[in-house]
Amino acid sequence: MYRYDEFDQRFVEERVAQFRDQARRRLSGALTEEEFRPLRLMNGLYLQLHAYMLRVAIPYGTLSSAQMRKLADISERHDRGYGHFTTRQNIQYNWIKLEETADILAELASVQMHAIQTSGNCIRNVTSDPFAGAAADEFEDPRPTGELIRQWSSLHPEFSFLPRKFKIAVTGSPNDRAAVKAHDIGLRMIRNEDGDLGYEVIVGGGLGRTPMIGKVIRGFLPKAELLPYLEAVMRVYNLHGRRDNKYKARIKILVHEMGEEPFRKEVEREYARLDVESLAAPAEEVERIQAYFAPPALENLPEESKAFERARTADPDFRIWAETNLHPHRAPGYTSVVISLKPVGGAPGDATAEQMRVAAEAADLWAFGELRVTHEQNLVLAHVKKDDLYPLYRKLAGAGLDSANRGLVTDIIACPGLDYCALATARSIPIAQRLTERFADPKRQRDIGPLSIKISGCINACGHHHIGHIGILGLDKAGAEFYQLTLGGDPTETAAIGERAGAGFSAEGVVDAIERLVDRYLEIREPSETFLQTYRRTGAESFKDALYAEAG
């Protein structure tokens, strides 16, 4: 797993000292709020609806058990005993004190964590597949690519004052679990006809008020050319991206306004001008990074586990959990485990200090001391022996971490919404709570099958609602919360922006409306068809009359 080298460690420590001084100067009056605001944002500290909010980076969503314990400690010592894991694979604390922030950053630095580049118009923390390095369908671990980009972009003078924030996602598998087409740049590893590995480069995706699916601007980029090519993309963006209007400043607008083909040509022209050799990452550096992500020492195991089979037969709850919350591992006898942070009636992505500790302990006992945070706001143990699944499950169950719902209707993504967010127009979390209660019955959930509901509390779309099979956008209509539905969104390699279903619903009405949608799907689906497949086959019309039946 990645460790800071000495230089990084010193850099992070200097930033902590710098922030300590800045906070002191703010409190003594040497800095006004206007002067201080950009400085605190550069360190992940926002002023939110109730208090300061601190956003801590979890690069590529990977963290050690020691880091997870530190996150638990911080939530207890400096917050109210819980934290919120987000769609950006990071964690947010909601109740942070300015006067304690430098201490928190120092504590984070002691386990090589930080809050840098979680805010501001820079290249944000790179996100990737939560099953990176473990998934059976993966060409290669995408995290070394993420790390290479991080090192290249972190202190790049040209890129710290971009027109707007910039988000990059990487997947090493043809099955996109990192929503790469909804990012400013998405990289998807592929093999060409010669069997060489490279990237499909996708540019100009994004959500927010102008949702766009990214465009493929290079079908195959040889691996070694990654940084020079990204450099060319960033230069074109820096040169032509709009700085006059922050709503038009993202690269998606540039690609859209220039047109896909002219943009591609511009990038290729810039690329032809660059000294590719000197900009490419040196091979030793790539190897060094690769070594940080070296896979753990896996044993040679038979594919089937007798202990697992026995437990499955003996404990029906375990069997149900194992059906949904495991993900195929590349090594026989191993599996990845999804720890759902979506209990019925809970806030999606919230975990208490105790739950974080239990997850850390489980990682130590059975998963090489390593955890992942997913953009679906769950946790993952990447490398677990099937033999160990039952004791692991029992441990998780003891802390309320055994929800058997990965990918099902109650595995809802929700942004903090009006319960926490100063920008919100409506609440998100309570809608998730009502929906999980409505669909709590495990049998019904499994009958419905794969279905993702994603909720945002305003048009900024932090809850990814545009790419939910069912998206919910919370708005305000004359003082009342009001929810608009989109249907048919898809975050994967077949990415699509959901279509507006029609008039919105009240907070009370939206749960019933979704239940009617789901019932309609159950009525009209063909055998083994998922919600999304049925929607694509039959179109919006067959759902609309169910949605608006009551109104008529």
Partner 1 sequence: MAKAFVSSILTANDLREGWSVFLTRDGRWSRDWADLRVAASAEEGAELSALGAAEEAARHVVGAYLVEIDAEGRAKLRRERIRAEGPTHRADLRRADALTEAA
* Residue 180 CA from chain centroid, whole number: 10
Q: By CB under 6 A, which span of 85-93, 96-104, 496-504, 510-518 interacts with ligand HEM?
A: 85-93
> Under a CB-based contact definition with an 8 Å cutoff, are residues 361 and 395 in contact?
yes
Binding residues for partner 1, total number by CB under 8 A: 30
Cβ distance to ligand HEM smaller for residue 208 or 502: 208
Least distance (Å) from partner 1 to the CB of residue 319?
31
Q: What does 458 bind: partner 1, ligand HEM, ligand SF4, none (CB cut-off 5 to 8 Å by kind)?
A: ligand SF4
Convert 367-380 to b/e letters by CB count within 10 Å (16 or more is b). Answer: bbbbbbbbbbbbbb
Cβ distance to ligand HEM smaller for residue 87 or 340: 87
Least distance (Å) from ligand SF4 to the CB of residue 394?
35
Cβ distance to partner 1 smaller for residue 44 or 430: 430
* Residue 437 CA from chain centroid, whole number: 24
Least distance (Å) from ligand HEM to the CB of residue 222?
28
Residues found near ligand SF4 in the complex (CB under 6 A): 415-417, 421, 423-424, 456-458, 460-463
Residue 476 phi, psi dihedral angles, 5° rounding: -120, 125
Q: By CB under 6 A, which span of 141-149, 302-310, 420-428, 540-548 interacts with ligand HEM?
A: 420-428
Q: How would you class 455 by CB atoms within 10 Å of its CB: exposed for 0-12, middle for 13-18, buried for 19 or more?
A: buried
Q: By CB under 8 A, which span of 89-97, 187-195, 323-331, 535-543 interacts with partner 1?
A: 89-97
With both helix axes pointing from N to C terminus, report the angle between 226-240 and 260-273 in degrees, rounded to the nearest 10.
Answer: 120
Q: What does 56 bind: partner 1, ligand SF4, ligand HEM, none (CB cut-off 5 to 8 Å by kind)?
A: none
Q: What does 167 bind: ligand HEM, partner 1, ligand SF4, none (CB cut-off 5 to 8 Å by kind)?
A: ligand HEM
How far from each other are the two terminal CA atoms of the chain, in whole angstroms? 58
Query: Would you count residue 478 as binding partner 1 (CB under 8 A)?
Result: no
Max CA pair span of the chain:
68
Q: Which helix (H) or strand (E) holds 98?
A: helix 98-110
Tokens of 37: 């605001």
Cβ distance to ligand HEM smaller for residue 349 or 449: 349
Query: Would you count residue 250 as binding ligand HEM (CB under 6 A)?
Result: yes
Query: Would you count residue 424 as binding partner 1 (CB under 8 A)?
Result: yes
The only residue of 373, 421, 451, 496 in contact with ligand HEM, by rule CB under 6 A: 421
Query: Would you count residue 146 as binding ligand HEM (CB under 6 A)?
Result: no
Of 359, 366, 369, give the one whose Cα is nearest residue 385: 366
The only residue of 336, 433, 445, 486 in contact with partner 1, by rule CB under 8 A: 433
The only residue of 187, 396, 461, 470 in contact with ligand HEM, by rule CB under 6 A: 461
Least distance (Å) from partner 1 to the CB of residue 22?
14
Q: How would you class 297 by CB atoms within 10 Å of its CB: exposed for 0-12, middle for 13-18, buried for 19 or more?
A: exposed
Query: Would you count residue 400 as binding ligand HEM (CB under 6 A)?
Result: no
Non-local CB neighbours of 424 within 8 Å, separated by 6+ positions:
49, 415, 416, 417, 418, 457, 458, 474
464-483: which residues touch ligand HEM (CB under 6 A)? 464
> Under a CB-based contact definition with an 8 Å cutoff, are residues 125 and 89 in contact?
yes
The only residue of 33, 193, 303, 541 in contact with partner 1, by rule CB under 8 A: 33
The only residue of 96, 280, 409, 415 in contact with ligand HEM, by rule CB under 6 A: 415
Virtual CA dihedral for 401, 406, 409, 412, nearest 10 degrees?
70
Convert 257-289 to b/e letters by CB count within 10 Å (16 or more is b). Answer: ebeeeebbebbeebbeebebeebbbeeeebeeb
Q: Return d(Cα 82, Cα 65) in angstroms, integer.
A: 17
Least distance (Å) from ligand HEM to the CB of residue 313?
39
- ∠ at Cα 207 (148, 514), nearest 5°? 125
Q: By CB under 6 A, which span of 21-29, 143-151, 287-295, 412-420 interacts with ligand HEM?
A: 412-420
The only residue of 74, 280, 418, 451 in contact with partner 1, by rule CB under 8 A: 418
Binding residues for ligand HEM, total number by CB under 6 A: 21
> 195 in the Ramachandran plot: left (φ > 0), alpha (ψ -120 to 50) or beta?
left
Q: Which helix (H) or strand (E) holds 260?
A: helix 260-273
Q: By CB under 6 A, which span of 58-66, 390-398, 402-410, 454-462 interacts with ligand HEM?
A: 454-462
Q: Return d(Cα 339, Cα 492) in angstroms, integer.
A: 21
198-217: which residues touch ligand HEM (CB under 6 A)? 206-208
Binding mask 63-82 for partner 1 (x = CB under 8 A): -----------------x--
- Which DSSP string do the residues of 487-521 spell out, in sequence order? ES-B-STT-BPPEE-SS-EEHHHHHHHHHHHHHHH
Least distance (Å) from ligand HEM to the CB of residue 60?
15
Least distance (Å) from ligand HEM to the CB of residue 210?
7
Q: What does the radius of gyration of the chain's CA atoms come to, in whole angstroms?
A: 23
> Under a CB-based contact definition with an 8 Å cutoff, are residues 379 and 352 in contact?
no
Q: Return d(Cα 316, Cα 115) in angstroms, integer.
A: 42
Cβ distance to partner 1 smaller for residue 316 or 479: 479
> 117 in the Ramachandran plot: left (φ > 0), alpha (ψ -120 to 50) or beta?
left
Cβ distance to partner 1 smaller for residue 266 or 350: 350
The only residue of 50, 243, 246, 306 in contact with partner 1, by rule CB under 8 A: 50
Query: Would you count residue 426 as binding ligand HEM (CB under 6 A)?
Result: no
Query: Would you count residue 96 as binding partner 1 (CB under 8 A)?
Result: yes
Non-local CB neighbours of 11 within 8 Å, separated by 6+ positions:
none
Enumerate binding residues for ligand HEM (CB under 6 A): 46, 48, 86-88, 92, 164, 167, 206-208, 250, 415-416, 420-421, 423, 460-462, 464
Enumerate binding residues for partner 1 (CB under 8 A): 26-27, 29, 33, 47, 49-52, 80, 94-99, 347, 418-420, 424, 427, 429-431, 433-434, 479, 481, 507
